[in-house]
Chains A and B, each alone.
Chain A
Amino acid sequence: MSDTKLKRVDLIFGEYSNVKYKVLADTIKLPNDKILEDLLESGLRGRGGAGFPTAMKWKYTAQAPGDEKYVVCNADEGEPGTFKDREILTRVPRKVFSGMAICGKVIGAKKGFIYLRGEYKFLLPELLRELEGYHENAKSIGLDFSIEIRLGSGAYICGEESALFESMEGNRGEPRNKPPYPTTFGYLGKPTVINNVETFVNIMMIMRLGPIQFKMLGTTDSRGSKVFSVSGDTPIAGIYELELGMPLDRFVDEFGDGDTKAVQVGGASGFCVPRKKFKDTVIGFEGVPTGGSMMLFNSSRSMYNVLHNYLEFFEEESCGQCTPCRVGCQQLRKGIEAVKKGDKKSQYLEQLMKLSESMKLTAKCGLGQSVANSFSSIVYNFKEEMIY
């Protein structure tokens, strides 16, 4: 049995080095070009879900004109089914701070912020204590980079990078038009690198192991390991660090309860994969990407209820700024309710699918654009459950 098991990795949560902040101290001695080169070589892509190549983000920001630049750590983890960032910040916060500090050195920033979701405020005292230690160490190795924590206040949309900047600036968390991108116009309109919590930890992994060893994990398109948040109908819900690029059927063999009918990959804004497609689905950027959320549903669950729950979520969390998202989320929810009640014919689902496709094309940010992912994948694969 053991050879069929998915490869477990223990790098992200691996123990700290014996000397405090040793990897950071070693890394800041390297020239910026070497750090960027290693990062590029590693193939690291952002761990928040969108998967943008991290080295490019850093490079563009480093090249952007201006003396005032910022590093922001996105800890506004709000995607349903995701809880990895909380675990990382609880268990290995120093790796996050170090990753941010290295970024600061490379792009020429002196100030970093962690935007922590309000729901995780309970982590604050411990994080502030750890930060004190970080600042002492940074001082002793002559590193001029300070980190401050800003709290969110219960808005999922603030996980969208430009909405997050708006929130940090004291505004409503409404996403901006892009371009300009954060690399040139981020926090306070200054060039900013914004990365997910896990991405910063990956940086430290690459700096410690070197890009070659990092690359040995995962596949060509999805390098390295990833922290997965596993929940739903599984006997072993929790946090697992696994290699990227695994087939979904093997994942289900290991984490399912023997009766898994669907897996929602990537949270409410991700895709629903039905049982018949487990075999052909790869978890990673070449297949179904995920910020780490894996929710399993067994045959006792109504996929109508699942979709309804997601739509309610989006309806409430839509910032209301653009019409496709504000109105679209409501109409999708009302639409599936009408079909379920028999007020509308089942053909109406086709119209709703079109609406979700329009949202994908016209919504201003990732929230409105991604509603179609779960909507169409659930309606398409579980049509009869939507009707009867």
Chain B
Amino acid sequence: MATNNNNYIGELVGQYGRSRTSLIPILQGVIEKNNFISDLDMTEIAKELDLSAAQVYGTATFYAFLETQPRGQFVIRICKTITCDMHGKKTIVQTIEDMLKIKVGETTPNKKFTLLETNCLGWCHEGPAMLINEKPYSGLTPEKVHDILREYMHK
């Protein structure tokens, strides 16, 4: 069986422990590092925590933010819930799609950006809103989105 070159799983296990309650913090740690959890990661975590791979897979795939598909370095999540939708979410999605030349659900070829839609982010009073990784941006306009993305393009 192939093994991971990186020892980050071991580090995370060292940090959070081997009990079942550590599973989600460990999975979140993998996301923070790689932006997604690979099959190999999941089997390794299962081994470390003495769980079946199916249990780890079952937990990981339940949560929207625990991505099990490869994602870009910056994951953009646009809120699609009602007030953001009412206040121009579609224009924002269009702006980003045009800028990055990808559709919702896709990742740019250089693996830098992934564009996703998500449910209520809790910025209903300042919609439309989005998250880039964990950072929230609200009160979006096409101009504002241009500036924000341009900044990330240079990161």
The answer to whether residues A81 and B124 also contact, given A172-B58, A232-B86 and a CB cut-off of 8 A, is yes
Residues of A within 8 A of B121 (CB): 119
Q: Is the CB of A170 within 8 A of B23?
A: yes
The range of chain A's interface size is 35 or more
Nearest Cβ in chain A — how far from B66, in angstroms? 5
How many of chain B's residues have a CB under 8 angstroms from any CB in A? 36
Which of these, B21, B118, B126, B135, contacts A154 with CB under 8 Å? B118
Q: Is the CB of A81 within 8 A of B83?
A: yes
Residues of B within 8 A of A237 (CB): 124-126
Task: Name the interface residues of A87-145: CB closer than 8 Å to any CB of B.
Answer: 117-122
Residues of A within 8 A of B22 (CB): 170
List the count of A-B residue pairs having beta carbons below 8 Å apart. 118
Q: Is the CB of B63 within 8 A of A233?
A: no
Q: Is the CB of A81 within 8 A of B135?
A: no
Q: Is the CB of B23 within 8 A of A153?
A: no
Residues of A within 8 A of B58 (CB): 172
Residues of A within 8 A of B63 (CB): 118, 152-155, 173
B24 within 8 A of A: yes
Q: Is the CB of A239 within 8 A of B65?
A: no
B85 within 8 A of A: yes
The answer to whether residues A172 and B124 also contact, given A80-B81, A122-B136, A154-B64 and a CB cut-off of 8 A, is no
Which of these, A122, A151, A310, contacts B82 with CB under 8 Å? A310
B28 within 8 A of A: yes
Residues of B within 8 A of A295 (CB): 82-83, 124
Q: State the CA gap A209–B128 with chains docked (Å).
A: 39
Nearest Cβ in chain B — how far from A151, in angstroms? 6
CB closest chain-B residue, reference A122: B134
Residues of B within 8 A of A173 (CB): 62-63
Interface SS majority for chain A: mixed
Residues of B within 8 A of A151 (CB): 24-25, 28
Chain B CB count within 10 A is highest, among A231, A305, A317, for: A231
Q: Is the CB of B122 within 8 A of A170?
A: no
Q: State the CA gap A293–B120 with chains docked (Å).
A: 12
A22 within 8 A of B: no
Nearest Cβ in chain A — how far from B46, in angstroms? 12
Q: Is the CB of A313 within 8 A of B81?
A: yes
A156 within 8 A of B: yes
A316 within 8 A of B: yes
Residues of B within 8 A of A155 (CB): 62-64
Which of these, A83, A174, A319, contacts B125 with CB under 8 Å? A83
Q: Is the CB of B21 within 8 A of A121?
A: no
Nearest Cβ in chain A — how far from B63, in angstroms? 4
Q: Is the CB of A80 within 8 A of B28?
A: no
Residues of B within 8 A of A305 (CB): 85
B59 within 8 A of A: yes
Which of these, B21, B28, B136, contacts A168 with CB under 8 Å? B21
Q: Is the CB of A170 within 8 A of B124?
A: no
B131 within 8 A of A: yes
Task: Name the interface residues of A159-178: CB closer than 8 Å to any CB of B.
Answer: 167-174
Nearest Cβ in chain B — how far from A260, in angstroms? 13
The answer to whether residues A231 and B59 also contact, given A80-B81, A170-B23, A170-B24 and a CB cut-off of 8 A, is no
Q: State the CA gap A313–B120 with chains docked (Å).
A: 9
CB 8 Å contact bits of A234-273 with B (1 = contact, 0 = none): 0001110000000000000000000000000000100000
CB 8 Å contact bits of B74-91 with A (1 = contact, 0 = none): 000000111101100000
CB closest chain-A residue, reference B32: A121
The answer to whether residues A121 and B124 also contact, given A168-B21, A301-B86, A316-B119 and a CB cut-off of 8 A, is no
Residues of A within 8 A of B127 (CB): 231
Q: Is the CB of B124 within 8 A of A229?
A: yes
CB closest chain-B residue, reference A173: B62
> 9 other contacts beyond A155-B64, A232-B86, with CB at 8 A cut-off?
A83-B122, A83-B123, A154-B64, A154-B66, A154-B118, A171-B20, A309-B80, A316-B119, A317-B119
- Report which A residues bind B (CB closer than 8 A): 77-83, 86, 117-122, 150-156, 167-174, 188, 229-233, 237-239, 268, 293, 295, 301, 305-306, 309-310, 313, 316-317, 319
Q: List 20 A-B contacts (CB under 8 A).
A: A77-B122, A80-B83, A83-B123, A86-B122, A119-B118, A122-B136, A151-B24, A154-B64, A155-B62, A170-B20, A170-B59, A171-B20, A171-B59, A173-B63, A174-B62, A229-B124, A229-B125, A231-B125, A295-B83, A305-B85
